[in-house]
């Protein structure tokens, strides 16, 4: 009997992700710190500045981003400057400047610097252009759950007693900070801010805030105040992203009979998983394991999907199934999210989609949309800032007598108990002109079922990309090979750009 091995960690995730995002401030470090003052670089044999080993109290290695918030004031000691920050490194890796503000007259400098994908911990080194600062303060933050780079920055120079900066990010989140008499006030009233510095005496100290967010598109926003009485406020925003998916993980794998194996799985709650076997660990793509069973009516989760190939976890994320495995390839077994029946973003090619023109007007075309605003909104690029898509005219308006069909490659729904369709749509069409979505027979092109009836454009002034679905594939279309068909019909009397399709996805919903 062949020996089977279960992968106890997920090797590859085929589809699916958590909704929401996780932005976590892992640790923070404020300098100066008692008993751990920075080493001052005197410029005698190198640059001026500061160097400090923070590793006894702080670690950023393995985190998505390291953020440094820095501010300094030169007092009356080194007029006519303070020196400028020329370099920031962490264990030798250079930080990128998100925003930096320097005022010779006010004798202050302030900035926010960051490093993506921190590899190792070590010395923090801040180099200056000339002599050292009379007063300074800075903080370090190790953060997970943000996009690489920086999305927005802002700066302000206001009256001496009230330094303010307001920045609107591209997600609509307002970053507003007012520092008055060294007391920090959160401008958006959300209550999600936390003041990291609270100094009541010295005016040169840094004030910094951050926001912990839970929705993709919101922002971590460090705000650096060089001192209310020194008029220097800068801020940089870092966009939150979806949290990485956890699991699935096979927690046990036991022989319960000849060629019969029972496994227990821990994953996301109420989530469908499939299993693949392979002789090697690369699973490219491996063999789908079908005819799953359960040994006891009380076993966690439920079996379903095409040929009983899907285990859906219970509300606790637990599942239990039996697999019949005999012969190769079956040396290793992996749990993964159920593979989509069709997933196409058109960035690598046309996806095998085809066109059927039923009239003499404009056909569907594949490529990069670059249709100017003809009165109903411009169409530039694909959905979500991508490059390619399908459209009825990639560079302008559709013509008269347009009646054209875009068809997907074959989708095999044999043995599939349920399926859902979603796609991105942008439409700019004259009143009375419509798009329609049907399921057609693989061989005869006969319409088997209608998914979206003939539908008009509801916004004649704009043509934004929007996600349509997920929509259930009608039961009459299941159990056979099919194709999805998008039809656009219009006479082109006036100038409109037509219909555009991107990011097509057909999946099996959880049983």
Average pLDDT of the residues in 40-50: 75
Strand 183-186 to 174-180 pairing? antiparallel
β partners of residue 456? 434
| Locus of tokens 């569907």 | 364
Please say if the pLDDT value at position 100 is more than 90. no
In residues, how long is the chain? 511
Which distant-in-sequence residues (6+ apart) come within 8 Å of 478 by Cβ? Answer: 413, 416, 417, 418, 419
According to CATH, the topology of domain 342-507 is Jelly Rolls (2.60.120)
Structure tokens at 391: 């459209």
Per-residue pLDDT averaged across 155-172, rounded?
A: 58
pLDDT band at 390 (very low <50, low <70, confident <90, very high): very high
171 phi/psi in degrees, rounded to 5: -95, 0
8-state DSSP, 243: P
447 burial level (CB within 10 Å; 0-12, 13-18, 19+) = middle
Instruction: Give residue 168's pLDDT band: very low, low, confident or very high (50, 70, 90).
Output: low
DSSP 225: E
In DSSP terms, which residues pair with 137 in a beta bridge? 71
Task: Give me the pLDDT at residue 204, please.
Answer: 36
What 3 state SS string does 398-429 have?
CCCCEEEEEECCCEECCCCCCCEEEEEEEEEC
Asked if residues 28 and 196 have their Cβ atoms less than 8 Å apart, the reply is: yes
pLDDT digits (tens, 9 = 90+) for 248-275: 888 888 888 888 888 898 888 888 888 8
- Of 487, 450, 496, which Cα lies nearest the Cα of 472? 450
Q: Rounded CA gap, 259 and 51, in Å?
A: 63
Average pLDDT over residues 71-89: 67
Going by DSSP bridges, is the β-strand pair 135-144/24-31 parallel, antiparallel, or unpaired?
A: antiparallel
Rounded Cα distance between 321 and 301, Å, is: 8
Instruction: For residue 175, give every residue at least 6 positions away whose Cβ sits within 8 Å of its Cβ, in sequence order, or none.
Output: 152, 154, 165, 166, 167, 168, 169, 187, 188, 219, 221, 223, 235, 237
What distance in Å separates the CA atoms of residue 275 and residue 318, rounded to the nearest whole number?
15
Residue 312 near residue 302 (C-beta atoms within 8 A): yes
Report the pLDDT value the prediction gives residue 227, as an integer from 0 to 100: 47
Domain boundaries, given as residue ranges, for the chain: 5-16+245-337, 24-239, 342-507
Average pLDDT across the chain, whole number: 74
pLDDT reported for residue 427: 84
Q: How confident is the model at residue 26 (pLDDT cuts 50, 70, 90)?
A: low
Going by C-beta distance under 8 Å and a sequence separation of 6 or more, which residues neighbour residue 284? Answer: 278
Q: Which range in 230-234, 311-315, 493-497 is most confidently predicted, on average pLDDT?
A: 311-315
Quickly state the pLDDT bin for 105 (edges 50, 70, 90).
Answer: low
Q: What is the mean pLDDT of residues 298-316?
A: 85
Asked if 138 and 85 count as a contact pair (C-beta separation under 8 A), the reply is: no
pLDDT of amino acid 451: 93
| CB burial of residue 424 (10 Å; 0-12, 13-18, 19+) | buried
For 287, residues 6+ apart whose C-beta sits below 8 A from its C-beta are 276, 277, 278, 329, 330
Whether residue 470 is preceded by a cis peptide bond, meaning omega within 30 degrees of 0, is: yes
The residue-averaged pLDDT of 312-328 equals 82
Mean pLDDT along residues 496-509 = 87
The residue written with tokens 């934004």 in the block is: 464
Report the distance separating Cα 424 and Cα 486, nearest Å: 12
97-111, 169-183, 234-248: the lowest-pLDDT one: 169-183
Q: What is the C-alpha to C-alpha distance for residues 385 and 369, in angstroms, rounded to an integer?
A: 11
Cα of first residue to Cα of last residue in the chain, in angstroms, is: 33
Please report the pLDDT score of residue 160 as a whole number: 44
Average pLDDT for 295-316: 85
The C-alpha atoms of residue 359 and residue 489 are separated, in whole angstroms, by 9
Would strands 389-391 and 447-456 be described as parallel, antiparallel, or unpaired? Answer: unpaired
In CATH, the architecture of 5-16+245-337 is Sandwich (2.60)
């Amino acid at each position: 009997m062949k020996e089977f091995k279960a992968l106890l960690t997920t090797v590859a995730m085929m589809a699916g992700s958590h909704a929401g995002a996780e932005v976590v401030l892992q640790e923070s470090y404020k300098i100066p710190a008692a008993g751990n003052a920075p080493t001052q670089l005197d410029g005698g044999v190198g640059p001026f500045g500061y160097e400090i080993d923070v590793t006894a109290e702080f670690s950023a290695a393995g985190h998505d981003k390291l953020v440094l918030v820095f501010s300094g004031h030169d007092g009356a000691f080194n007029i006519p400057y303070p020196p400028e920050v020329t370099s920031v490194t962490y264990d030798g890796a250079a930080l990128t400047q998100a925003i930096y503000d320097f005022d010779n007259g006010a004798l202050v400098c302030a900035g926010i610097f960051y490093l993506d994908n921190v590899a190792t911990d070590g010395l923090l080194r801040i180099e200056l252009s000339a002599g050292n600062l009379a007063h300074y303060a800075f903080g370090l933050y190790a953060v997970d759950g943000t996009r690489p780079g920086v999305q927005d920055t802002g700066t302000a120079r206001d009256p001496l007693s009230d330094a303010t900066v307001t920045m609107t990010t591209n997600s609509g989140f307002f970053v507003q900070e007012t520092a008055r008499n060294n007391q920090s006030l959160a401008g958006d009233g959300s209550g999600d801010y936390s003041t990291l510095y609270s100094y009541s005496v010295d005016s040169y100290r840094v004030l910094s805030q951050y926001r912990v967010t839970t929705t993709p598109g919101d922002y971590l926003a460090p705000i650096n105040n060089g001192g209310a009485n020194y008029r220097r406020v800068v801020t940089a925003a870092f966009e939150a992203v979806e949290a990485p998916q956890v699991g699935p993980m096979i927690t046990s794998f036991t022989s319960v009979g000849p060629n019969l194996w029972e496994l227990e799985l821990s994953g996301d709650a109420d989530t469908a998983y499939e299993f693949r076997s392979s002789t090697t660990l690369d699973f490219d793509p491996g063999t789908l394991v079908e005819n799953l069973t359960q040994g006891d009516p009380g076993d966690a989760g439920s079996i379903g999907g095409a040929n009983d190939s899907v285990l859906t976890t219970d509300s606790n994320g637990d599942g239990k199934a039996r697999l019949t495995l005999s012969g190769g390839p079956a040396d290793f077994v992996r749990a993964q999210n159920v593979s989509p029946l069709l997933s196409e973003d058109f960035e690598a090619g046309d996806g095998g989609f085809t066109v059927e023109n039923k009239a003499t007007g404009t056909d569907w075309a594949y490529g990069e949309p670059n249709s100017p605003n003809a009165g109903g909104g411009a169409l530039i690029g694909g959905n979500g800032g991508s490059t390619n898509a399908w459209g009825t005219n990639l560079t302008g308006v559709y013509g008269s007598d347009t009646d054209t069909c875009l068809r997907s490659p074959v989708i095999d729904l044999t043995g599939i108990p349920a399926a859902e369709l979603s796609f991105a749509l942008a439409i700019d069409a004259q009143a009375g002109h419509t798009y329609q979505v049907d399921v057609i027979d693989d061989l005869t092109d006969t319409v088997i079922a209608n998914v979206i009836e003939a539908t008009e454009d509801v916004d004649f002034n704009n043509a934004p990309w929007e996600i349509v679905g997920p929509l259930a594939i009608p039961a009459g279309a299941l159990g056979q090979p099919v194709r999805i068909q998008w039809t656009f019909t219009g006479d082109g009397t006036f100038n409109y750009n037509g219909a555009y399709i991107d990011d097509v996805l057909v999946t099996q919903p959880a049983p």
